[in-house]
Amino acid sequence: MRIRQLPETLINQIAAGEVIERPAAAVKELAENAIDAGASRIDILIRVGGASLITVQDDGIGMTADELALAVERHATSKLPDDNLVHIASLGFRGEALPSIGAVSRLTLTSRPRSDKTADAASITVDGGKKSKITPAAHPAGTKVDIRDLFYATPARLKFLKTPRSEAGQVRDVVTRLAMAYPDIAFRLTHDDKTVLDLPSADRLERLQQIVGRDFAENALPITLERDGITLSGFAALPTLNRGTSQYQYFFVNGRPVHDKLTVGAVRGAYADFLARDRHPMLCLFLNMPPELVDVNVHPAKSEVRFQDAALVRGLIVGGLKHAITEAGHRASTTVAAQTLQSFQSSAPHWDGEYRQRQPSYKNFKGMADGGSAGSYYAAHGSLALDDAPAARNFAGEAPVNDAATAAQQDFPLGAACAQLHETYIVAQTADGLVLVDQHAAHERLVYEKMKQALAAGGIARQALLLPEIVEMDEPAVDRLLARKAELEELGLVIESFGPGAIAVQEVPALLGATDIRQLVCDLADDIAAYGQTVSLKEKLESICGTIACHGSVRAGRRLTREEMNALLRQMEATPHSGQCNHGRPTYVELKLGDIEKLFGRK
């Protein structure tokens, strides 16, 4: 075959395959154009998941008739005024979206300039790559794009579309991400005449509540940090509000939604102290930086970016998240208390000829025969005391309680210890409610924080191996580890090259004890490959500290004195992050007096 120039229609179809892979991609391109045009409202209508019809209408600056003709030409754009690909300040810049869409669908573009009230609206149609003439139209200021029969010109692509419901879900995801980044813009999404999203303009936290939910808004920690011209802002949830997947993590760079392994790895590192590896925090983070510090031109769909200084960005994210969590102190998620209150709700009445409240069963009380009555039980035993219940303690046999001292303890945030339940949970009375503490989870966090402080203050003590541990792995993995040899030595792991495809471990951190060195090194190499600069040996050490703290803390089933319980509560108040254990579980639940009164119908 001889080399030949491809026809323009085929070129556009190839470009459409790269840029417009599904209806959601077309919606993304058009909505980004509307945002770049200064729209304050964007209305999106789709039918059959977007395969039959996509309409995007905005009230932006609009276009003249001459600009309409240029807009459907390839590589025609208003977003690179100085032809500078290094300084990109808009969402779109390639000028490929409209001609690519027009090459595989029936596209109608109608617009009227906002700045010239005397100018008439105009319209142009592109059908399978064939352009019509400009015609007059009736339209308000702004732009409307209609896409009918997407991929009709490339029917093979239609076979790869999923169900209309699934494709509509992808469209919704695209719209919600853009709505998060631009809360001052109102968005509406309609699918088959049903309104899916209706988001009026709002401040950022309100917009996030509209999309992610009230739980996130109520437990969100504000993030604000600036370093070397790069600003990090947004919100991250308390560790006790977490999910089983990372789908509730949203990242934006200069207003552009991105999927980037560096940011994912940085979040993983920041929450390593607070969550198990199979749990993921909820957050929405916005990075703003000079355009020349980030390359947005590395992916046809503009969903990936490359940072000039990846280490700086990673440090900014980790530092901002850790600072916010530290500022939260021992606070835990409010959803924990809400779930606890729900479990306390009384049973619904049942019908047995008349409405009657369900009566409790007494047959399981100690000393009461099956079938015995409540009256006979109390006649024999009197009122039920804490000592009668094997699962609760009222500190019998301890020194008399000083009422003034107890009242003073109640003024502390976590209150004064009153009882121990099942030798596992501490009940404390506060000035305006009660607190229920998991003694093991709470002490585990306290021990862990002390170990981290000691680790930071004393440095990493090394332990030389009698015989070097030879670890074989593929050469790229060896190169990645040797490239960070100096950092690893500072943290107590001394490695040397041992020929192609192997390294020799000479010294290890003494803190590790009898650990599996081969597995540790292989895990480090794998993490560096997956997350680049977002992983460090320090995180590995802290993870091991967490395991040691778990085994070295007060266990469930240990009986504590009142003084020990109060001492634990006071330490929790003085220790950062004590609202959750190392695995992301809450260490305590607080119930306000008003909530308790509601449970009993007193309020």
The HSE-up count of residue 158 (CA atoms within 13 Å, CB side) is 13
- Out of 173, 199, 225, pick the residue that ends a domain: 199
Predicted local distance difference test score (pLDDT) of residue 163: 93
Q: Which residue has the higher pLDDT, 464 or 382?
A: 464
Q: Are residues 437 and 547 in the same domain?
A: yes
**What does the pLDDT look like over 578-599, one tens digit per residue?**
887 777 778 888 888 888 887 7
Predicted local distance difference test score (pLDDT) of residue 177: 95
Total domains in the chain come to: 3
For the record, the structure tokens of 83 come out as 């032809």
Predicted local distance difference test score (pLDDT) of residue 181: 95
Q: Are the C-beta atoms of 25 and 115 separated by less than 8 Å?
A: no
Residue 424, domain CATH: 3.30.1540.20
Average pLDDT, the chain: 79
Of 136-140, 457-461, 479-483, give the lowest mean pLDDT range.
Answer: 457-461
Task: Look at residue 375 and tell me if it is in a domain.
Answer: no
**What does the pLDDT look like over 492-528, one tens digit per residue?**
778 899 888 899 999 887 755 666 788 778 877 876 7
Task: Look at residue 363 and tell me if it is in a domain.
Answer: no
Task: Look at residue 404 and tell me if it is in a domain.
Answer: yes
Predicted local distance difference test score (pLDDT) of residue 201: 95
Task: Look at residue 107 and tell me if it is in a domain.
Answer: yes
Task: Look at residue 340 and tell me if it is in a domain.
Answer: no
Res. 247 pLDDT band, cuts 50 70 90: confident
For the record, the structure tokens of 393 come out as 């303690």
Mark 510-541 as b/e (b = at least 16 C-beta within 10 Å): ebbeeeebeebbbebbebbeebebbbbbbbbb
Look at the pTM and tell me if it is higher than 0.95: no
Of 103-107, 359-363, 596-600, give the lowest mean pLDDT range.
Answer: 359-363
Return the DSSP state at 470.
E
Give the separation between CA 283 and CA 247, rounded to whole angstroms: 10
Rg from Cα positions in the chain = 31
Q: Are the C-beta atoms of 151 and 23 separated by less than 8 Å?
A: no
Residue 123, domain CATH: 3.30.565.10
Quote the domain boundaries for residue 276.
204-327
Handedness of CA 359, 364, 370, 374 (dihedral sign): negative
Give the separation between CA 496 and CA 88, rounded to whole angstroms: 44
Q: Are residues 315 and 438 in the same domain?
A: no
**What does the pLDDT look like over 275-307, one tens digit per residue?**
877 788 899 999 999 988 888 777 666 677 888
Residue 278, domain CATH: 3.30.230.10
Share of the chain above pLDDT 70, in %: 76
- Out of 327, 355, 383, pick the residue that ends a domain: 327
Q: Are residues 14 and 63 in the same domain?
A: yes
Res. 148 pLDDT band, cuts 50 70 90: very high
Share of the chain above pLDDT 90, in %: 28
- Out of 327, 357, 379, pick the residue that ends a domain: 327
Q: Are residues 461 and 581 in the same domain?
A: yes
Q: Are residues 153 and 275 in the same domain?
A: no
Q: Which residue has the higher pLDDT, 448 or 239?
A: 239
Task: Look at residue 193 and tell me if it is in a domain.
Answer: yes
Q: Are residues 165 and 229 in the same domain?
A: no
Chain center to CA of 191: 27
Q: Are residues 427 and 323 in the same domain?
A: no
Q: Are residues 175 and 315 in the same domain?
A: no
**What does the pLDDT look like over 53-76, one tens digit per residue?**
999 999 999 999 988 988 888 777
| Of 456, 547, 469, the residue nearest 508 (C-alpha) | 469
Q: Are residues 549 and 566 in the same domain?
A: yes
First-to-final CA distance of the chain? 86
Q: What is the 3-state composition of the chain as percent helix, strand, coil, each rounded to the nearest 5? A: 40, 25, 40
Task: Look at residue 378 and tell me if it is in a domain.
Answer: no
Task: Look at residue 419 and tell me if it is in a domain.
Answer: yes
Q: Are residues 423 and 284 in the same domain?
A: no
Q: Are residues 50 and 147 in the same domain?
A: yes
Q: Are residues 474 and 566 in the same domain?
A: yes
Of 75-89, 439-453, 541-555, give the lowest mean pLDDT range.
Answer: 541-555
